[in-house]
Each structure stands twice: as C-alpha cells, then as structure tokens.
Amino acid sequence: MTKTLALSRQEQDILAWIDGEADAMVATLKDWVNINSGSHNAEGLEAMRAQLEAAFAPLGGTIKAETLAPTKTVLANGEVTLQHYTPSFRLTQRPDAPIRIVLTGHHDTVFPKDDSFQSWTMRDADTMNGPGAADMKGGILVMLHALMALEKHQDRDRIGYDVLISPDEEIGSLGSGPIIHDLGSAADIGMTYEPALADGSLAGARKGSGNWSLKVGGRAAHAGREHHLGRNAIVAAAHFASRLDSLNGQRDGVTFNVSRIDGGGPPNVVPANGVVRFNVRVGQESDQDWVLEKLERLTQETASRDGISAELFGGFTRPAKPMTPANAQMFEWTRAAGSALGLDIKWNATGGVCEGNNLWAAGCPNVDTLGVCGADIHSHDEIVLLSSLPERAKLSAIMLMKFATGEFDARAARALAAGAQTC
C-alpha cells in the first residue's frame, strides 16, 4: 500500500495557485494548438519555439536555441541526403544545484502544414479536440506550471534542471537524441510529458524501436525491347520485404513492420531503384544483436542477386526501457504524489516509444507519461481533457517539491540505476 504523503501548508498553497491558473492554461493551449508545428514545417516549429521562449522566460535560468546536427535520410528516388532540423528549446536552471533533473518534451506534431486538421474545437465543456492538444502541447503546459510551482517552494535551490523541448520527436528524435542522452547522463532523474494512456494510467515498461531504409539499386531498361537487360530493383525490394516479414514470430517480443516501398517509375521501364522502409520493435536490449544479424544477412542476400545492389540505412534509435528497480521507484513516487491528490495512479507496459527510452539508455531513471489525459493521439480525433491540465501539473509539482525536500531521494534512484548499493 502506498504511504500517505503529507503536504506542508506552503505546498498546499502552491497547489492552490496551480488551480487558479487553470483558465489561463486552457487559453494558452488553444493558442498553441492553432500553430501548425508539423515535424517538417520549419516555419511553424520556429513560431512555436518562440512561444515557448516567452512562456518559460518567467522561470529565469538560461534559455537558448539548441542546434541539432543533421542526419542522413534516403529519398524516394534512392538519393541519400541530409535531414536538417530546427533548433530545440533549452532552458538551464541552477546547473550547480546538488540534485539534477532533466525534463523533456516536443513541440512537433504529426500533422503537416497542409493537413485539414489545423485548429481546436470543443466536444463538451471539458473535452477539446485539436492537433497536438494532448501530444504534447498540453504536456508542455503541465511541465511549465509544475516548474513555476517549484520556483515558489522554499527548497527550490536544491534542484537544478534542464528543459529540452524538441522539434523532431515524432520523426524519431534523430537530431535531438544525442542531446537527450547527454542531459540524461548528467541528471539524477528524468521527467517526460507525453500524454497519459487513454484510461489515465501511465506507460511503464516500453519496447525498443528502430527505423531503417534499404536502398536497392538495379538496372533500367525498356520493358519491351530490352527487358532481359534490366534488373528490377522493385522486385528485389519486394523480395527483401517479404523475407523481413517472415521473421515475425521467430523471437518473442520482436516485430518487423514493413511500412512502405518507394521507387520505380513508368510501367514501360524496368525500375532501377527501390527503397524499403521498415520499423523493428524489441522487448529487451539483448534482442538487438539478433535483429542486426538478421538484417545484415537479408541485406547481403538481396545484394547477391544478379545486377542488384543493396545498402542499409538507419538503426535502433530508442533502446528498450524495462521496468527496472530504479524506474519502479520513480513510479512509486508518482503513485505517492497522486495519492496526495486523491488519484490512483496505475501504469501498463506499452509497445510505444518516446524520449523516456532515450533517457533510460543514458542511465537516467524516469517517468515519461506525466502529461495530460487524452485519447486518439495522431488522429483527427485527438482530444485532451482540460481538467487534467491543472491536475497533472499538481502531480508533477508535488514530485518536484518532494525531490527538493529530499523526501523523494532522486540521487538514490540514480545510484540504483547504476547498480550501486543504496540505503
């Protein structure tokens, strides 16, 4: 049974302040949702980052635009080029404090600039439908108000924190991933603001994930006069995709999903290029070596076909996040904070991935669904429960305040993650 968590008079007053901010949180969320910040809409992403700079400025600390390094990507025609990213928003507060916390989130959404889903509507008094309302502009507001609450606490100087809000989470965090790893390596614990699951529970253990593109080259030829001289890259790509799909079921917890085959051209030309795009999910880190061996073998098999070349791009970008003792301790603290609000916090394993995977890969114990309650994310039916804005802000605020007082021992969680002996 979770021990009842006592709140001081000051802490109760701070939570009451959050309740008083509820209407302002809703108004800000409506403004943010109306800014299209699809992952490839640079103008919209920069407009949203400007909003973050203004919103987080009252916290103090140092705000900067964190430049992200470009990464390789394979275009539909097989050309290998660089994917460039707009900067992440970063805030650093009290870098020399004895306790270090990293808080992460993202301001990109899955809805492109030309998508028909561009603004909010109300379903009922507590339910708002809007692009990115839950995933995760609402979560960013939860984070912000929890930090504003911490800054009102008498023990705030014991906590130093880094906030990183990135423009590329929905496309794999390839640019921001190395920065998340660096911040996670230096922090005692992490807090990430993805939305809670549809039933209000949090995500527990997460699978690992990787994305790949296989570039297949062949030889173009006239489909009628010189078909025999051609080497069909699409057929070779399709053969690879079929062989890849056949790996499903061979190892428990590992799945292969072929999502797309690009390439080819007019029907009277033997296609000289094809690109197979696919995702792999693994249940544990030890599965990765097995997957990589299978991918290498299938790539070599494809390249051994007469007149065909094959080159693999990509990799595991989010390792598995198991429910280790350190992560379980983070959830127990979350449950205890929830109990002080009358919430029964539960969690469930999920096949989804997020920045919490990246933090755990850096040895940083974390909870990664501290955002709003909502449902149907990544669809035109995405909703947020507006009452969960102050509710979840109070949940995180209690955790931060208890980390500050030492009632929740963040440094012990980090030591537990490293396998150190703790009291």
**pLDDT for position 412:** 93
- pLDDT tens-place string over residues 308-344: 999 999 999 999 999 999 999 999 999 999 999 999 9
DSSP, collapsed to helix, strand or coil, labels residue 382 as coil
pLDDT at 53: 98
Question: Helical H runs in 98-232?
Answer: 138-150, 177-186
* Of the candidates 288, 282, 289, the residue with the CA atom closest to the CA atom of residue 322: 282
Q: Does 144 score more than 50 pLDDT?
A: yes
Burial 286-306 (b: 16+ CB within 10 A, else e): ebbeebeebbeebbeebbebe
**What confidence tens digit (pLDDT) does each residue in 359-395 have?**
999 999 999 999 999 999 999 999 999 999 999 999 9
User: SS3 for 356?
Assistant: helix
pLDDT reported for residue 2? 54
Span 19-40, mean pLDDT?
98
pLDDT per residue over 150-198, tens digit each? 999 999 999 999 999 999 999 999 999 999 999 999 999 999 999 998 7
C-alpha angle 115/166/54, rounded to 5°?
Answer: 90
**Confidence grade of residue 349 (pLDDT, cut at 50, 70, 90):** confident
70 pLDDT more than 70: yes
**Separation between Cα atoms, residue 149 and residue 400, nearest integer Å:** 9
Whether pLDDT at 286 is above 60: yes
Return the pLDDT at 351.
86
Predicted pLDDT of residue 59: 98
Query: Does 423 have pLDDT greater than 50?
Result: no
Q: What is the mean pLDDT of the chain?
A: 95
Roughly what angle, to the nearest 10 degrees, separates helices 388-405 and 325-340?
Answer: 120
pLDDT higher for 350 or 137?
137
Residue 1 has pLDDT above 90, yes or no: no
**What's the confidence (pLDDT) of residue 152?**
98
Confidence of residue 199 (pLDDT cuts 50, 70, 90): confident
Domains and CATH numbers, the chain: 9-204+321-417 (3.40.630.10), 208-318 (3.30.70.360)
What percentage of the chain exceeds 90 in pLDDT? 95
Mean local confidence (pLDDT), 237-265: 97
pLDDT digits (tens, 9 = 90+) for 410-420: 999 999 998 73
- Helix (H) or strand (E) holding 208, with range, is strand 208-217
For range 267-281, the mean pLDDT: 97
Tell me the C-alpha distance between 295 and 316, whole Å.
12
Long-range contacts (CB closer than 8 Å, 24 or more residues apart) made by 288-295: 288/208, 288/210, 288/316, 288/319, 290/251, 290/254, 291/210, 291/254, 291/316, 294/247, 295/212
Q: Are 182 and 364 in contact (CB under 8 A)?
A: no
Q: Is the pLDDT of residue 292 over 50?
A: yes
